[in-house]
Amino acid sequence: FGDVAAAAEGDAAMADSITTEAGHGIDMDLVSAQETRRVLDRLAGYTVSPLLWKKVAPGLSAGRVQSVGLKLVVDRERERMRFKTAEYWDARATLCASSDEVSMGDCFNATLVSLNDLTVASGKDFDGETGLLLPQTGSAPDLVHLTEETSKDMFGNVGADSTWTVSKVVSRARSNTPPAPFITSTLQQESNKRLGLSVSDTMRAAQMLYEGGYISYMRTDSTHLSNDALEAGRKAVT
């Protein structure tokens, strides 16, 4: 009983210290949340970690975060394995104004979007698990599937010197919103896609930029910027 009493006195002293320092009592909702995380670690990690030690390497851990991440990867891989490819073709032409002296500014690219009043099928019109066209609404088909053979037959009837006519010009106003600020994951994805940098190279370069005062802190999962940061950015731009 002595050890129990000492532990109780220690807990009480710690609670009094926390209350004094923070100015309020212990938030039991936060305590319950922490205990819930511990339980999830035991339910998930304690059963998956030994499997990692056996199949991958000793000393690895798999808790509430890693286990869910692993399931997402496995589900995505199974979806990839079920995927069936489908062949479809589209048609593009470079058309120029009829003139003896034609510059590249007088030319534009045209893409075939319909044929005989039927919309040309694209990738979104196919079922990824069967490789077939998705079911079409209505009794009459509203899509045409261009294959290599039909595409070549169609272009075989069109000569390079054929005359094309612009029957209608439609102008629409469009607005583009700027992309959201980088978070850690999107920064790493873009640097790899555009520059071919690894994660370590990306974070090393970002750390140097941060230390030089060129970017805000890069290790974040939030796109929220403080009013002070926004105002400083506006002043830097103007």
Catalytic residue numbers? 217
Alpha helix segments (H runs only) across 125-198: 148-156, 184-195
Contact assessment for residue 225 and residue 216, using Cβ atoms and an 8 Å cutoff: yes
CA distance 29 to 86: 52
What SS3 state is found at 126?
A: strand
CA distance 100 to 20: 88
- Let me know the angle formed at the C-alpha of 141 by 138 and 142, rounded to the nearest 5 degrees: 95
Q: Strand pairing partners for 126?
A: 133
User: Would you state the structure tokens that stand for residue 193, as one six-digit string?
Assistant: 């896609």
Burial 57-69 (b: 16+ CB within 10 A, else e): eeeeebbbebbee
Contact assessment for residue 181 and residue 225, using Cβ atoms and an 8 Å cutoff: yes
